[in-house]
Structure 1
Amino acid sequence: MAFVFLLGVALFISVWASAKCDGVPQGVELMECRDRFFVIAVDLSCIGSEPHFEAVDDTGVYPITKQYAAECGYSVNALTVLGHMELRASYFSCHAENKDDKMFTFNFNLVATHDGEEVRYALNKTCSPSLPWSPREVTCEINYMEVSVRSDVACPTGAKRDWDAVVQTAHFSATSDWQVMFQKPEQEPVPMSLSETHRRGYVFQLTDGRLVFRTPYGQPDSFITVVDGIPVEVVHATLFSRQSWVVLLVNMEAACSMHEGSFDESTHMRWQAPEVLNPLVSDLHNTQVNIGVNGKLVEQSVAEERGYIVEKHNNTIQISIPYTAEEGYRKSFVIEDLYQFYIFNLYLEKISVDEDLVETRFRYYRTLSTPLMLCPIFTVNRMDLEQRLFIVYLGDVPEDVELVAIHFNGHEFTVPLNNTSIHMITNIHSNNTHGYTLEVPFDDPVIIHEILREESVMKHKLDIYYTLTILPENEHFNYLASVTALTYVSSPVFDAVCSESGISFKLDHQPFHYLWKISIGSDLLTSELAAQHGYIMSNSSQSLLLHVPLFTHGYQYKNVTLKEYFGTFEILLRDHETSEIQSSTVKTCPFNTTTELIVCSTDGRMTVVADLSPVVSSGVIPARTSLIREHCGPIEADNTRVLFSFPLHTCGSIIKLGKNSVTYKNKISFSKKQTPAISSNNDIDSVTVQCTYPLAGLHRLFSAYRFESDTAGVGCIVHSAHSTDDLQSPTVLQTPVPSTRCNFQDLFKY
């Protein structure tokens, strides 16, 4: 597709900016002298409505209209879509004050309307060309062609092609007044006076050292020729005058490539010009090409670094400019979808010499623009499953587009984000685009979760609704991205901590935890169960906290010594539908053995730590105590305490079978030889220990001396002065779980 000049694009999609400025100092962005012209750049958002320029000289004030600009050497480029307007004035423009072709003074009025009133701002500048003038210079502006030649140039050697008709006509028509002939293919040239050419829109000007000819494009005396497949507009003007017997002829030909440009879909804009613009009248060769932008040439190394490409194919010069080239422009629009186009103000210099080594310098100003193209904004899901994190990148966001808000599954957040768990990083890129990286944890409340039971996975879903705005118009549009992640569902895991008083468990809730039920043994963990067994439980939307005090229901005790013992508590996780055990959390903690202790295990073993302090002062030696069977002594003893551990059916244990329970009872006895001072009826002469089990939970009671029980038994330690048969209310010093107070009346019922 061919390029269109930006003026047409601007008319199609022009938008006036609405920013407020204090005055022209903020509105006039640039007043600068260049090699062959003076430029003024204005920010349209700061100067009011309907801006235009006027040229000022000693003779008056002249509005620079479209036609007047083309005739008098002015180029006004109003890029309203970018909020930018630019005036370029040739050094030979109509109202520039010229001093010896070395100093040029410009006077303009910038006219704008503020609050319904027209306001004028005077803009003045004096410029001196930074480069010496070449013998012949041709300027191809966007709206006119200009030729200037040195007035003292030597006559060329040899005969020029296609000059016979001109010479013959000039010989018979020449007068002392200067006249002009325009040559067109297959037409006889007709002389006309300079006043006639002026009426036709041409300008011929004689300065101190140069002859200047300027013409708008598309004049009746111009013609289009195709050179190497490229259209070229040619105005072949010859200025002549008879001086005595000599006829002076000056070739003022102007020829400019009218190539509209081309582009590919992804990378470059291209523009072409023939190396020799008009082979019929030109003998130029040895061409040198320099490229620039916005009226400034750049060094070849800089051009290469920016990606500008200058190539010669046969007799054609081809210029390639990357879309994202530095000094170019990019503008975004919303027409249902996001579109963009690129603008590049090409500045090209071509230097050629003829057979007489006379240099001709061509300059091209071309504003190239692509058509509207769909803007390829995209998202990439870079999720981190190990960190359970969505990492979503929104890329190729144009530089004039800004993110202002985000909706996560319907939850709106403004930018910058204030959420502590969701993070956003802005990424700036070298191709005039930027991107946004969002990090959202899978466990954030905005995430939607769905359990896929058959696959045993959880689906995490996040719909991101980006709200972006185009600057400076603040036109909003939306972009939707949906990302999902699958994670394997695992059973809940409790954190467990030991303390002096028991074991504490903590579970951080996850959305999928409803797939499991928590139980202590066969009983579901509820607030009622916790209260019944003395657990301390709190359950919030964030976590479950459970403190299990020592000696409450559910503990198992092992490795009991007089110094310490180990208590183990287990929490079971069951399938919500089948109640089958899926996993468990088991925590074992060491506890100091500071008081008496009795453990009735499920495998039929009684472990007892008894305190004999009351009888030690009477001469009892703890290490010499025994159970009913005297050979069953303590496995460990110190100065006041003893530790016994024995199977229930050994050491002379007495078994009493009740209606609903069975009790195994034994006694820690002191030898009378050890206790000569014991005589009072209130003195303790033995310690009774016993374990009681419910019959419903027993699997084997007497078979081959094997014992199996579903639950631990209830233990009692009773210090007595006489036979335990006479005791009515024994003292329970300490019992393991379940925490049921020992009552002889219940334990020994038959």
Structure 2
Amino acid sequence: SGLKADCLGNLMRLSMDEALAVGNQLVVEAIGTQRVLLTPTLAAQCGYSMESDPWGNTRIYTSLMGCFVDNKDDATFNIGLKLQMYSQRPSDVVTHEVSQTCSYTRWAPKEVLCERNYMEVSNYLMKANPQTKRPAHDQNVDSYLLEDSGASHGIWKMTFFTPEPVVMVPREAEQAGYSAMTTSNRLIMRSPYNTPETFSEDVAGIPMEIFKVSVYNKAESGLGIVNLAAACPTGVLFTESVISWYIPRRMTPLMDGTFRIVEMHMGINGQRLDRSQMAARGYTLSTTDFHIVAEIPVGSPDGYYKDGVFSVKLGDFFYDVELKNITFVTGVLTVEESNARGLIVQEHIYTNGTKGFSLQVAFDADVVLKTNPEPLVTTYSLPLTIGLLILPDGTSFAHEVTLQASLQDVLPALTGTCDQKHFYIRVKYGSQGRNFETTVGTRQLTPDLDKAYKVQENRTHLHLRVPYNAQDSNFELVSSVSIQARLDIVLWEPNNQWVLGDLSLACSFPLMTTCYPNGTITAVAVKLESVPSLVPSQLTLKDRSCRPVFSNDRFAHFSFSADSCGTSRTAAYQHFYKAEDYPLKKYLRDPLFFEVVLMQSTDPQLELIVENCWATLQEDRTSVPQWDIIVNCENRDDTHVTVFHPVKDNIAMPSHVKRFSMRMFTFTNDNEVLRDQIYVHCDAVICNTNGPPDGICRGQ
């Protein structure tokens, strides 16, 4: 089906391959006690994330502690998802419902999950123990119990540390995009990135997003305070050959005091790798005095070249500095205008009282300049002037920077297949996306041709469906049973006229000859590419008086009756009906051909003789009425005599085969014409050719 669900520790992964997703938009609903549409905001709040590669392969991850997961005692988890895929028309919706049950019991006392769009932290809920009670709140202690306050069971309130304390009740936290919930044994908090209650901090030189909160939870054991903290790295280092992730060995926002690393593992797409798998791919996981380092070579089989992004970080500044505007090549934009256009501008407040600013601009943004200094190389340039302001006196100053990156282009790839009527062309975009024009045959694709050739495209692929007899195909070869046609596709870059890819797809298609029940035959003759001087209008059939009823520069269409234009009938016995073809529909005087074969014998001294053949209305050969077809020999009483056909020498045992034909006649009973199904039966005998030709053995 193109869908695969896997349980991976504290996550469930649903993989959807490109064949299922390409050309479609995807809508995901979570199935719990009700169906809930997962918007990007709700997905981050409730523990769902999704990623796609440039080819359309999509993975959806669900936290086992997600909002809509059916949790059985923190051990068994039932996850349900509904996927709706549709193209441009709502009527083309394809729906898949997926359910998966995962078992997971290896919960640590505290777990932190850094996902693509959210941070999640869960803590074991401690049970009542008088020795753990403390009179005051210390956010550096994981959890402890207070005297019963009389509050109702459940989460009472939360204090976020930004690092300044911000108090919220559950309803306010939910409206702000956070998720807080308890299970039978754990308390879970979840936050999207870059919210007002998260903050940035450098830990051992690594930029981290920090989320700290104290949760007041009332349980049967009393009112407890659970201090939760999550810290997730937000940066990555890369060179031309290696991508590196650095994680602080000591997460000071999460722990104090001494500790030791018990286990350390590395995985890809949620799947843990063992040492042999890592070694085979050239991956490494190591530690230094201050960091845990994961390294992957550029070009590894688990990666791909993602759309490029320029990242700028500016700082550190004192608290009184504000970012006023940014000057791009297209003009001056405020912070609000930049974010509205998809240029991500953020302010970062640090624990030492300073601040910084960051800017992210995708390579394909309209403020980025693109040039091609040479074929297959694209250079991206981003000139910037960042305007800053010192408050309260309004003193302004600026910082200028020009970012530049050159990338080797990945060319688009073409593949194709055929059925009995069409060419199917598939183009997978390269690193430059849809930066090319397409020539089909000798014509460039236009909106009109797009409709004729059923063109479909999305951000990763282009699909065409071209009839094999379209104007842009070429005919290469004609045989007695098929015609070979070829379709040429060329992708080219319009500015420099560079050819980016091409494909010549040749396939064999059935001949365009049709026989009709009224005895009419239509045939189409084609002009081969190898005979450019051929004029289709001058073609004739075997009878030169039979000329095309229609012709153009590529085709000649003929229509004639089966007994004219030099047409002849041959009983070749090369094409047989299959069991699924029955019953056959035949008209009066249509020829019916039969073959009777002696099976599983190679004795040349034996000969098969057909004694009698007859037709009935029932499958039972003894049923009545009956109509004779062969009585010892042909039924001479029939106006349409049964004809025996010689068996040619190309049959291994001609004496083991008998062939005959008859014309369809009217089956009547008591002068009433019958229109029921007809069954044909035969009696046959096996004779010794060396014996005397007595009795039946003298027949055919």
**TM-score (ref. length: structure 1):** 0.39
- Which has the greater radius of gyration? 1
